[in-house]
C-alpha cells in the first residue's frame, strides 16, 4: 500500500532515479537538497514499503503555491499514485494557507493534463517554448 509523507534528505537517492527517468532536463540532487532546506516549500513522496514510487513539490508564498514537479516511477505509472500525491499536496498546501495553486505541464502531456483537470485545475494560458530538450510550450494551469 502506498503511503504519502514528507520527503526527507534520505529519500534523494531514490527520488533522483525517478527524476532522471522522467525528465530530459532533470533537477540535480543539490537542487532538491536546497529546496528541502527552505521553509516555504513542501515536498512529498509516495512510499510503498521501502521504495519511493513518486514525489511532488510546491513552493508557497502567503496564499499561492507553484507546483514544481510531480513524478511517478515509470514502473508505477497508471496506478493512481500521481493523483494521490497531488491530492495530498493540495490538502497540505490549503492547511498552510494556500488558496491558489499554479503549475506548468508540457503541451503534449495529455495524461498529466487530464489528471490535473480531474483534480480541479483549469487551463490559464500557454508559456511559449517553456521547456527544453525538446523545446515545447507549457500549458499554465491553476486551481482555486
Active-site annotation holds for 47:
no
Check residue 112 and give its pLDDT: 93
Check residue 37 and give its pLDDT: 94
Largest CA distance in the chain: 40
Q: Which residues of 102-112 are buried (b: 16+ CB within 10 A; e: fewer)?
A: bbbbeeeeeeb
The answer to whether 61 and 40 have CB atoms below 8 angstroms apart is yes
Task: Note the pLDDT tens digit of each residue in 48-81.
Answer: 999 999 999 999 998 999 999 999 999 999 999 9
Please give the angle made by the CA atoms of 50, 68 and 28, to the nearest 5 degrees.
Answer: 65
- Kindly report the average pLDDT of the chain as a whole number: 95
Check residue 62 and give its pLDDT: 86
Residue boundaries of the structural domains of the chain: 2-143
Kindly tell me if the per-residue pLDDT of 133 is higher than 90: no
Kindly tell me if the per-residue pLDDT of 32 is higher than 90: yes
User: CATH classification of 2-143, choosing from 3.40.470.10, 3.40.80.10, 3.40.50.2300, 3.40.630.30?
Assistant: 3.40.630.30
Q: Of 55, 104, 117, 133, which is the active-site residue?
A: 104
Check residue 118 and give its pLDDT: 96
The answer to whether 93 and 101 have CB atoms below 8 angstroms apart is yes
Task: Note the pLDDT tens digit of each residue in 103-130.
Answer: 999 999 999 999 999 999 999 999 999 9
Q: Of 47, 55, 116, 131, which is the active-site residue?
A: 116
Active-site annotation holds for 19:
no
**Nearest-angstrom CA–CA distance, 40 and 23:** 24
Check residue 1 and give its pLDDT: 85
Amino acid at each position: 500500500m502506498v503511503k504519502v509523507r514528507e520527503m526527507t534528505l534520505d529519500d534523494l537517492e531514490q527520488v533522483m532515479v525517478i527524476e532522471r527517468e522522467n525528465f530530459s532536463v532533470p533537477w540535480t540532487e543539490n537542487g532538491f537538497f536546497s529546496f528541502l532546506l527552505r521553509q516555504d516549500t513542501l515536498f512529498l513522496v509516495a512510499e510503498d514499503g521501502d521504495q519511493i514510487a513518486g514525489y511532488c513539490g510546491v513552493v508557497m508564498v502567503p496564499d499561492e503555491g507553484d507546483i514544481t514537479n510531480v513524478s511517478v516511477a515509470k514502473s508505477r505509472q497508471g496506478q493512481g499514485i500521481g493523483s494521490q500525491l497531488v491530492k495530498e499536496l493540495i490538502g497540505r498546501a490549503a492547511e498552510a494557507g494556500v488558496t491558489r495553486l499554479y503549475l506548468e505541464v508540457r503541451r503534449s502531456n495529455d495524461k498529466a493534463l487530464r489528471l490535473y483537470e480531474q483534480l480541479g485545475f483549469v487551463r490559464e494560458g500557454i508559456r511559449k517554448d517553456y521547456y527544453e530538450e525538446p523545446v515545447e510550450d507549457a500549458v499554465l494551469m491553476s486551481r482555486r
